[in-house]
Chains A and B, each alone.
Chain A
């Protein structure tokens, strides 16, 4: 650990309004000592990329429960790549069918967390990757 807190952008891409999970994770990461920015609802992939760069984060954590993840998650990774920011770790969470996970990982989403995951698991994952 470098001693400098890890900066994380928690984002809600698309039109999905269910942000309980996003907010709970944002709070848990903050309680674990990270600096957390939450975008609020209805962000386009471009807006999320813009916010990630502006806030100089190490991690983008995406949450989507509407089933639009196959469209939205890879678009964020692609947007970061175009801005030469593919060193930013991108995570996804929500109601994501098992069979979609390999494709999402292939497209650059580092890990997918599905319902029932503890906040501690996510904290440990982030610390292991960017600590």
Chain B
């Protein structure tokens, strides 16, 4: 077949040349955002050397076409909007609103003090309480957050990293109070600390101690919370920080390799914990490259788990992932245009086979989303799921010469990066290398926009005079005070002697290699606060000092 095409290709190229002489192409060259050159057309010639086996069937190694045999014909992806602001009362209201509107999973956004392990009344928390997420100081807040939400029915994703073990302990304790057993709990904690050092910045402890907390969670959950995804290895923030799609795949999987290696080194059996690893990717603007990215990541991870770590359980080789549309592509100019950006990004995630999806809201370059804008974002997913037929066959772009070619190319280029990171001693040692690569890409992206080489509607093309939307969400400025009052009351009413003893226990165990999870659970049940526990750990572990790279 390819021979036959070669002859026809020559004629086609002649035609193209003649045409170009008369009417030059729109751009001097075409490339994806990762810099992969794009041809005028793709044919089977571009797939030479790729066997159908490397593609396989959905639900079969190497899972290029999806992790389940029937994908969305069985069940749609989980529609999971990332939400949280102000107090736990306000966020509980937003959760119930979203569930009433047909959302199928929860996703908690915590405020920065919570993410960095400070109580709301800490000096460093001033001005930040309840701003980018909900403020959680103790189990009391967590009880309010999930009030009237049955934790045996709904799955919850919590975007929490450095203090993930403590928030998971609170979740387990709240469930128990609701009468729900740990074994019944379904959900995910992000728990991806390497990405924090590389791209997002909400770290607390130095890498070694952070990795120990992570392996404690792996070990505890493997025994006690078997349906919990113990980590969501996140490329999302790497991409938001400015990486390309290729770098997103490479750096995320390199982080994944580091977690698996740490757990294996801690004596865990790979097939015992690896089935509960999950991933989190970004859906950016370059539509076909994004679809290919998801497929390439899945295939690359399957090979890594099988060939590098000797996994035997098929589930250990399946890369399951959540996707969020790209916040950094949203513009403050003409915010309604963001609705379209999000829709295409969401479609790329679905065509790429995501297991769960968050769609961003149109007003997010201006503020946290309002009720009306988050509703449109959720409806966007529902249109893709129920109206346009995108979920009716598995991997609909499988076999597209273009998409298969891009998938191969992303896999190849990401593989080269992973090799480079291996040579540097693995992801924890390559943090600065990754930061530098990301910054270089971010700077190039900005320059391309300023040169007009990259079009952003409303920013560098088709600008217009416009008024800002009026219904933006404002977080109540008194939330910090309210949380501080609540804490004062809590500290006055709880059994402080017991709390002090439990904090001492944590301090003692932190210095050994014993699993910390049971101690965290006991402490939060007695209303020890997040800040108190993290301060004890800071005393034992120390704090991470950032290297400044740009």
Q: Which residues of A contact B (CB under 8 A)?
A: 14-20, 23-24, 26-28, 38-42, 44, 66-68, 70-72, 95, 97-98, 114-116, 118-120
A-B contact pairs, 19 of them (CB 8 A): A14-B127, A15-B125, A16-B112, A19-B241, A23-B442, A23-B443, A39-B548, A40-B548, A42-B201, A66-B112, A66-B132, A68-B128, A71-B127, A72-B127, A95-B367, A115-B332, A116-B332, A116-B365, A118-B450
In whole Å, how far is A58's beta carbon from the nearest beta carbon of chain B? 20
Q: Select which of B241, B443, B472, B546 is within 8 A of A27 by beta carbon.
A: B443
Q: Does the CB pair A20–B442 fall under 8 Å?
A: yes
Docked CA distance A24–B367 (Å): 22
Residue B359 lies at the interface, judged by CB distance under 8 Å to chain A? no
Docked CA distance A10–B83 (Å): 30
* Chain B interface, >50% SS class: loop
In whole Å, how far is A15's beta carbon from the nearest beta carbon of chain B? 4
Docked CA distance A115–B125 (Å): 25
Q: Which residue of A lies closest to B133 (CB)?
A: A66
Q: Does the CB pair A67–B131 fall under 8 Å?
A: yes
In whole Å, how far is A108's beta carbon from the nearest beta carbon of chain B? 17
CB contacts (< 8 Å) of A66 on chain B: these are: 112, 128, 131-132
Q: Which residue of B lies closest to A30 (CB)?
A: B550
Residue B429 lies at the interface, judged by CB distance under 8 Å to chain A? no
Q: A20-B242, A68-B131 are in contact. Are A98 and B468 (CB under 8 A)?
A: yes
Q: Select which of A16, A23, A97 is within 8 A of B550 by beta carbon.
A: A23
Residue B381 lies at the interface, judged by CB distance under 8 Å to chain A? no
Q: Does the CB pair B548–A38 fall under 8 Å?
A: yes
In whole Å, how far is B68's beta carbon from the nearest beta carbon of chain A? 35
Residue B537 lies at the interface, judged by CB distance under 8 Å to chain A? no
In whole Å, how far is A16's beta carbon from the nearest beta carbon of chain B? 7
**Chain B 84-104 near chain A by CB (<8 Å), digits 1 or 0:** 000000000000000000000
Q: Which residue of B lies closest to A120 (CB)?
A: B450
Q: Which residue of A lies closest to B131 (CB)?
A: A67
Q: Select which of A18, A41, A97 is within 8 A of B472 by beta carbon.
A: A97
**Chain B 416-453 near chain A by CB (<8 Å), digits 1 or 0:** 00000000000000000000000100110010011000
Q: Does the CB pair A119–B459 fall under 8 Å?
A: no
Q: Does the CB pair B548–A15 fall under 8 Å?
A: no
* Chain A interface, >50% SS class: loop
Residue B331 lies at the interface, judged by CB distance under 8 Å to chain A? yes
In whole Å, how far is A79's beta carbon from the nearest beta carbon of chain B? 14
Docked CA distance A62–B118 (Å): 23
Among A67, A71, A119, the one with the most B-chain Cβ atoms within 10 Å of its Cβ is A67
CB contacts (< 8 Å) of A38 on chain B: these are: 548, 550
CB contacts (< 8 Å) of A71 on chain B: these are: 126-128
CB contacts (< 8 Å) of A24 on chain B: these are: 242, 439, 442-443, 446
Docked CA distance A98–B112 (Å): 23
CB contacts (< 8 Å) of A27 on chain B: these are: 439, 443, 550
Docked CA distance A53–B475 (Å): 34
Residue B62 lies at the interface, judged by CB distance under 8 Å to chain A? no
Residue B113 lies at the interface, judged by CB distance under 8 Å to chain A? yes
Q: Does the CB pair B331–A115 fall under 8 Å?
A: yes
Docked CA distance A88–B118 (Å): 32
Docked CA distance A114–B450 (Å): 15
Q: Does the CB pair B332–A68 fall under 8 Å?
A: no
Docked CA distance A86–B196 (Å): 35
Residue B124 lies at the interface, judged by CB distance under 8 Å to chain A? yes
Docked CA distance A27–B166 (Å): 38
Residue B268 lies at the interface, judged by CB distance under 8 Å to chain A? no
Docked CA distance A26–B548 (Å): 12
Q: Does the CB pair B112–A97 fall under 8 Å?
A: no
Q: A20-B240, A97-B366 are in contact. Are A67 and B475 (CB under 8 A)?
A: yes
Q: Select which of B113, B331, B450, B474 is within 8 A of A15 by beta carbon.
A: B113
In whole Å, how far is A77's beta carbon from the nearest beta carbon of chain B? 15
Q: Does the CB pair B124–A44 fall under 8 Å?
A: yes
In whole Å, how far is B235's beta carbon from the nearest beta carbon of chain A? 15
Within 8 A of A (CB), among B184-238: 196, 200-202
Q: Does the CB pair B201–A18 fall under 8 Å?
A: yes
Q: Which residue of A lies closest to B364 (CB)?
A: A95
CB contacts (< 8 Å) of B550 on chain A: these are: 23, 26-27, 38
